[in-house]
Amino acid sequence: MKKKSNYQLEDFISDESFLSYAKGNNPDNILLWETWLAKNPDKFKIAIEAKKVIQHINFKKKSLPQEIIDNEWLRLTQHLNIKQQRIIPKAQKHKIKIWQYAAVFALLISLAGTALFSNLFFSGNDNISYTEIIAKKGQIKNILLPDGTLVFLNSDTKLKYSDNFGSKKREVFMEGEAYFDVTSDKNKPFIVHTTENTVKVLGTAFNISAYPHEKIHQISLERGKINISREKDKLLLLNPNETYLLLCNKNQAKVFKTENVEIYSSWKDGKIIFRNQRFADIAKKLERSHNIVIKLQNKQLEDYRYTGEFIVNDDVIKILDIINLTTPLSYNVKNDTIYIK
């Protein structure tokens, strides 16, 4: 056990005896690791984090070749190191740490093959198999695509890509909201299809909100450059700190500067932020984030605007009570439905 004094998160997870300890399979391993942790208290916190990761993932009995696992770990580590080179304000350090661990979780999930399934995406495409990932209401998921691109899926979002993704092209289809941190490949542009737009990139980070039944679709760029096309509209080039806004019901689109573009992707860090938003739109977000139903019985409330910041773990009643401080509303709760008067 002396060699384990410098263990990091990935070392714990890849250690067979620690896997057995985390799952409680072998009394000898349990005693071995509890003794070791008592002698190495500085590693206790990271060991507990590794234990939680293992306990929340059901690995298939058939394991992947070690060479593939090592290569994936190397690629993920290199990607995270690049992210760490960016200047990060002190207040964001904890947030980035959570984001990195989320990426680690995503890699393990992709290796284990959980929460994924293949199907035919288009009936007209013969024998083309697709992988689909779904983030249900009340969930936020993150995945690592075969090319190393990190994707965060907001609640009530679907993402699909072909099983030969990356062989000739990198192409995904989505409905809902997602944040993409795309691995650069000049020979294979990364393409995102929504119900209204096609986004073409090389290597960049951006957020797309494109729920099919909503009137407003939005694309915000943090870094890099992206091209946005829509039917016969002129091709648009989006630069960093710019946001593309599509009014679907009016068939109008515009681009505007954004002072704090990261606000649009704050959901991936567990935040719910409203900036002068209509209460009707706030209600839709809360329905997705908290997996509830909100019935607006008072139509006058729909256009009330509100600015505020919450976290996903905040109880929806607490959020409504705070909104009620500045907005006249009353509500009744019945099962998973909130009726607002």
* Model pLDDT for residues 164-190, shown as the tens digit of each residue: 898 888 999 999 999 999 998 888 999
pLDDT at 4: 54
**Model confidence at 299, in pLDDT bands (50, 70, 90)?**
confident
pLDDT at 154 over 90: yes
The predicted pLDDT at position 127 comes to 64
Tell me the average pLDDT across 277-303: 89
The pLDDT, as a whole number, for residue 90 is 38
270-340 matches 115-263 in CATH topology = no
Predicted local distance difference test score (pLDDT) of residue 141: 93
pLDDT value at 159 more than 90? yes
The amino acid that residue 4 corresponds to is K
Whole-number pLDDT of residue 5 = 63
pLDDT of residue 267: 92
| Confidence at residue 252, expressed as pLDDT on a 0 to 100 scale | 84
Q: Mean pLDDT, to the nearest integer, of 12-21?
A: 78
- Looking at 46-60, 102-116, 199-213, which range is the least confident one? 102-116
Percentage with pLDDT > 90 across the chain: 30
| pLDDT higher than 50, residue 82 | no
Q: Would you kindly state where each structural domain of the chain is located, as residue ranges?
A: 1-56, 115-263, 270-340
pLDDT value at 331 more than 80: yes
Q: Which CATH class is domain 270-340?
A: alpha beta
Single-letter amino acid code for the residue at 269: D
233-277 pLDDT, tens digit each: 778 889 999 999 998 888 888 898 988 888 899 999 999 888 888
Residue 286's SS3 state is: helix
> Could you give the CA distance from residue 324 to residue 91 in angstroms, rounded to a whole number?
29
Mean pLDDT of 6-14: 74
Average pLDDT, the chain: 77
Q: Is residue 55 pLDDT above 70, yes or no? A: no
Strands (E), the chain: 117-120, 129-135, 141-144, 150-153, 157-162, 170-181, 190-193, 198-201, 205-210, 216-223, 226-229, 236-238, 242-247, 252-257, 271-278, 293-296, 305-311, 331-334, 337-340
Element (H, E) at 109: helix 93-112
Between these two residues, 211 and 31, which has the higher pLDDT value? 211
Question: Could you tell me which CATH class the domain 115-263 is placed in?
Answer: mainly beta
For residue 99, the model assigns a pLDDT of 44
Q: What is the pLDDT of residue 48?
A: 80
